[in-house]
């Protein structure tokens, strides 16, 4: 079991990151875990503030997420979408009837003056989730996808266009004016912090928006606690989502090594899948510590096992007694 004294702060996007967050949530006490979540996917849709990664994490920890998609609520009905379609409304972004209540409630809280962090705390309380899910900023930062011909809003690219356009550049609009949220910065500097953990979310689409906030990035790079990550690429393939396609379009090899290169300067250690053990030496040559295990999370036991492994890896780095064969 993990040391019950330490706290852990995690950076996460949506579906992929939420798997590890659930594993950590199951093995740690609520006061030991804080999650700083990407808001670059957020957008205003049908007049509603949609925050996909925040909601994926809330629903996952509440045990009500749709297990098939990893987003939205389980046991949904779709009367609103059917009625909207009849009225000629935009239906490319599916909003279930129960999920709709979350967006309307959040809008109500924001209109009444709550920050995104405060509104998220309210929703956490109403979903009986005790682990803090903290927006990376209370100021909008929007991930934009550049292609040869246009600049797309994130959900247009990811959902409406099914991530098919070839990406030439990714920008995080507003990051130079936005400050990290006070709760996120506090969680990254908490005392008794045992590690900062980067989940195996898509680095470019889910983690980099968080790191694009200069105060968050400098807090992490100046931190004395181990910063560990998990590669989302296993033997040349992304476990889910467009990560591999995106890496090819950005001119990178689709490998755990490329993930290590991307996070050089941020991570002290990277966990890669045992199928990629042949890349350990090259990754160590980059100056990162590396360890291998099964990183594919299908069952809850997989998620808990990877969570335990991550905490143990961080402890090894912290005590400096890395076992060179790991």
- Residues near ligand FO1 (CB under 6 A) are 13-15, 41, 50, 52-53, 55-56, 71-72, 93-95, 99, 155, 158-159
Nearer to ligand FO1, 94 or 114 (CB): 94
- Residue 162 or 237: the one with the smaller Cβ distance to ligand FO1 is 162
Identify the three-state secondary structure at position 15: helix
Helix (H) or strand (E) holding 184: helix 182-187
* Contact yes or no for 199/11 (Cβ under 8 A): yes
Bridge-based pairing of strands 227-230 and 193-198 is parallel
For 38-59, give one letter per residue: b (16+ CB within 10 A) or e.
bbbbbbeeeeebbbbbbbbbbb
Cα gap 252→238, rounded to integer Å: 13
Considering the complex, state which of residue 13 and residue 194 has its C-beta at the smaller distance from ligand FO1: 13
207 in Cβ contact with 198 (< 8 Å): yes
**Listed residue (271, 294, 272, 202) closest to 241, CA to CA:** 202
Closest approach of ligand FO1 to the CB of residue 52, in Å: 4
Q: Which residues contact 62 (CB under 8 A, 6 or more apart)?
A: 127, 128, 129
User: Is there a contact between 10 and 20 (Cβ–Cβ < 8 Å)?
Assistant: yes
Nearest residue to ligand FO1 on Cβ basis: 14
- Minimal distance in Å, beta carbon 103 to ligand FO1? 8
Rounded distance, CA 74 to CA 57, Å? 14
Q: Which is nearer to ligand FO1, 94 or 168 (CB)?
A: 94
Residue 164: partners with Cβ closer than 8 Å, 6 or more residues away: none
């Amino acid at each position: 079991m993990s040391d019950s004294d330490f706290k852990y702060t995690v950076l996460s996007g949506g579906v992929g990151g939420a798997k590890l967050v659930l594993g950590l949530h199951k093995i740690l006490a609520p006061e030991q875990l804080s999650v700083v979540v990407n808001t670059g996917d957020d957008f205003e849709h049908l007049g509603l503030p949609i925050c996909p990664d925040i909601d994926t994490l809330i629903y996952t920890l509440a045990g009500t997420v749709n297990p098939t998609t990893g987003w939205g609520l389980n046991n949904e009905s779709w009367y609103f979408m059917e009625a909207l379609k009849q009225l000629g409304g935009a239906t490319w972004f599916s909003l279930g009837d129960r999920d709709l209540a979350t967006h309307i409630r959040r809008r109500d809280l924001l209109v009444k003056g709550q920050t995104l962090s405060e509104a998220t705390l309210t929703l956490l309380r109403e979903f009986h989730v005790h682990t803090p899910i903290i927006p990376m900023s209370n100021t909008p930062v929007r991930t934009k996808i550049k292609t040869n011909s246009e600049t797309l809003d994130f959900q247009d690219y990811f959902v409406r266009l099914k991530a098919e356009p070839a990406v030439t550049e990714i920008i995080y609009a507003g990051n130079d004016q936005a400050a990290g949220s006070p709760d996120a910065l506090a969680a990254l500097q908490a005392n008794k912090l045992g590690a900062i953990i980067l989940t195996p979310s898509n680095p470019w689409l889910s983690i980099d928006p968080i790191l694009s906030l200069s105060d968050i990035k400098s807090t992490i790079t100046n931190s004395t606690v181990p910063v560990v990550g998990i590669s989302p690429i296993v033997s040349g393939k992304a476990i889910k989502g467009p990560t591999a396609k995106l890496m090819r379009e950005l001119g990178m090899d689709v490998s755990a090594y490329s993930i290590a290169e991307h996070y050089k300067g941020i991570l002290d250690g990277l966990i890669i899948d045992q199928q990629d053990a042949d890349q350990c030496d090259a990754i160590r040559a980059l100056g990162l510590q590396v360890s291998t295990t099964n990183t594919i999370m299908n069952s809850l036991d997989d998620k808990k096992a990877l969570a335990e492994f991550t905490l143990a890896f961080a402890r090894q780095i912290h005590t400096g007694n890395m076992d060179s064969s790991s």
